[in-house]
Amino acid sequence: MAAQEPDAATHGQRGWEMFRSWGSPRYFVAPMVDQSELAFRMLCRRHGATAAYTPMLHSRLFLQDPNYRAEHFSTCEGDRPLMVQFCANDPETLLAAARIVEPHADAIDLNLGCPQRIARRGRYGAFLMDDLPLVERIVRTCAEGLSVPVTVKIRVFPDRQKTVEYARMLERAGASLIAVHGRLREQKKSNGPDADWDAIKAVVEAVGVPVLANGNIRTLADVHACMAYTGAVGVLSAESLLEDPALFSPRRLQPGGAFGGAQGAHLLLEYLDLVDAHPCPMRMVTGHAFRMLGAWLSEFTDLRDRLNQQHKEFGVEDIREIAQDVISRIEGLGRDYPVPKLSERALARMEREAAMAAAIAEQNREESSLQRIAANRAESLGNVEARRVLQAAA
């Protein structure tokens, strides 16, 4: 153990140098599949976010499929500091994929926290908690092979001491920053049991690198309370930021600055302007529209039905019209809160169905990409064999 301490100290120093070179950011846009794309990141940065992760990128698809790369990764001036997150279960594959985006990244992040079924099936994310030696090899390979720092985002074990040992191992392997989601792998819902801030605090006290906290962040007041309690240097938000992209804005702590009324629709219009500048697939845009318009769609159910349209002609301008319609209707109501026409049970069921459909769609997209790669490889091998036959005949 003593022989490893200098390495840990070196990585800790490197981590703090990295963090300070970024300007010591406190407010991070968390990595979200299909939801922390460039336009949304820039919206959040405009309203107080000081750093951001890309969506989780599948390392093998990113390496092998140019179409996947073009659809899932983009950046621009002002999109810094930027942490590019990958899921991976092979050190060399991740290293090769990371080198593609290395010039555009301030850090390469390894996703060790995704708890979804697709992660179990692909053996990545939180399911690598079952193979810690592999995790260590992945982090060490990338830390030694990249010119930018390597960071990790983890979940906690039921045993707090095991979580601490996990974090120390990651630090020794070369992680320059550790983001801790204070929930177990089995706790998939952010609206479920509260995140364990004590576990995050234990990691902060055990390692020498900067630690970010994730979990139970619903307001800006929660951000400050979490940092004060855990000692974390910054906080990630995902679900709450989707509903209020201005969550990190200082005005959220001022009288009258709480999120409500037509603010979500105005933020959506702002986001759509950014989409014009930084185009992305309509599934991402529609997903943000549902979250920013939120409960108003439970009252304006006709607008919800319009937003649910899936035909190819439905585009950004249609969503812009819906947002403007929401603003107009709210102004005519004389109140700044919705009165749902749907029951909470019906709304919850619709949300579950939408989440399941999105997960299935993402899994189908990954499988389609893998099949396309396999087909191209088979065709390439077939062409090689044909050339051999022709050469032999000649």
Catalytic residues: 114
Phi, psi of 168 (to 5 degrees): -65, -40
Q: Distance from first CA to last CA of the chain, Å, rounded?
A: 65
Helix (H) or strand (E) holding 51: strand 51-53
CA distance 37 to 44: 11
Geometric angle at alpha carbon 296, from 293 and 297, rounded to 5°:
80
Task: Dig out the tokens for 137 from the structure.
Answer: 């090899």
Tell me which H or E stretch contains 151. strand 150-155
- Distance of alpha carbon 235 from its chain centroid, rounded? 13
- Say which amino acid occupies 104: H
- Rounded alpha-carbon distances, angstroms, from residue 148 to 81, 103, 107, 326: 12, 9, 5, 44
Q: What letter does residue 194 receive in the DSSP assignment? A: P
Question: Token match 């007041």: residue?
Answer: 221
Determine if residue 256 is left, alpha or beta; phi over 0 gives left, psi from -120 to 50 gives alpha, anything else beta: left
What is d(CA 39, CA 75) in angstroms, rounded to the nearest whole number? 9
Bond before 81 cis per omega within 30 degrees: yes
Residue with tokens 């998939």: 188
The answer to whether the CB of 54 falls within 8 A of the CB of 84 is yes
Rounded Cα gap, residues 223 and 253, in angstroms? 11
| Cβ atoms 157, 163 nearer than 8 A | yes
